[in-house]
Structure 1
Amino acid sequence: MAELSNVVTVNIVTPNGLVYDHHADLVVVKTIAGELGIMANHEPVVAPLVIGEVRVQRTDNPGHEDVIAVNGGFMEMSNNTASIVADSAERERDIDLTRAQAARDRAQRRIEEAKSKADPDELQRAQVALQRAINRIHVKTGK
């Protein structure tokens, strides 16, 4: 195994518990300012995350990348540990594509209903639900 000073430990935690815990050569997150790539010995940073995917190039499987759907939260990098605290997160292998597609369809219907009722709060909630569903679909299908 690589020296621990040359790897990043990546932890993803949600209110439901630990979702992901591995050593990586590189982790890429989507922040409000854009994508941020983190490698070993990176300066300490805290960054708010948007709905998007987290990509992890694991040290134990070169050439393979784990992809995790993350729905907001923040990432803290310190002492070669990237800790992600997310509202919710799902590994690609755990995403039910049929369920994600149904959530997308429901959100699209809710958007149309909110527009017809001129309900800005419901419209915003439905748009967030749509972003989350699309994120899960993209992570599962790789598209």
Structure 2
Amino acid sequence: MDEKSILTINVVTPDGSVYENTTDLVICKTTVGEIGIMPNHLPLLASLAIDEVRVKVDDENFDEIAVSGGFVEFSDNTLSVVASAAERKETIDVSRAERAKQRAEKRIEEAKNENNDIDLRRAEVSLRRAINRLNISKH
């Protein structure tokens, strides 16, 4: 690829770097919708939704990274994804994600029975994170 037609992507969490690569397309879901970022895109700063970041590696394949919110910043052909948690598809522990899903579902029921809105919202976020990880692991 021509140097002007590539961008560098870095995905980091508080625990360190999760992913780094060069590409000509990254697709991610922000809190206001899905965006595709290509080289020479206008500078951007956006909040990320609990979803996946897809990085094009060739004409038919994408690397997939599960992210649990955070933000994305793009400038000078460098895309930085800063997430509270992120996992590459191949490192997702499916049984752990299944257990997290079951725990979250149980916590949702308990919170509903107790009319506890705060615990309900927290459990719903945990459930979305677990489902996101499971969905990405199955692609």
TM-score norm. by structure 2 comes to 0.98
Using the aligned pairs only, state the percent identity.
49
Q: How far did 1:117 drift? A: 0.7
Tell me what 2:95 maps to: 98
Of the three residues 113, 136, 141, the one matched with 2:138 is 141
Moved runs in structure 1, 4+ residues, more than 3 A?
Answer: none
- Measured in 1, the distance between the counterparts of 2:10 and 2:81 equals 6
Tell me what 2:14 maps to: 15
Q: How far did 1:38 drift? A: 0.2
Tell me what 1:81 maps to: 78
Tell me what 2:60 maps to: 63
Q: Which amino acid aligns with 1:116?
A: N
Tell me what 2:44 maps to: 45
- Measured in 1, the distance between the counterparts of 2:122 and 2:88 equals 23
- Measured in 2, the distance between the counterparts of 1:102 and 1:17 equals 25
Q: Which amino acid aligns with 2:5?
A: N
Q: Which amino acid aligns with 2:95?
A: T
Deviations 1:106-131 (A, max 9, x none): 10000000000111110010000000
Tell me what 2:104 maps to: 107
The 3-state SS of whatever aligns with 2:119 is helix
Tell me what 1:36 maps to: 35
Q: How far did 1:62 drift? A: 3.6
Of the three residues 83, 108, 128, the one matched with 1:131 is 128
Q: Which amino acid aligns with 1:91?
A: R
Q: Which amino acid aligns with 1:76?
A: E
CA RMSD of aligned residues (A): 0.8
Q: Which amino acid aligns with 2:130?
A: A
Unaligned regions of 5+ residues in structure 2, if any? none
Q: How far did 1:68 drift? A: 0.4
- Measured in 2, the distance between the counterparts of 1:27 and 1:13 equals 15
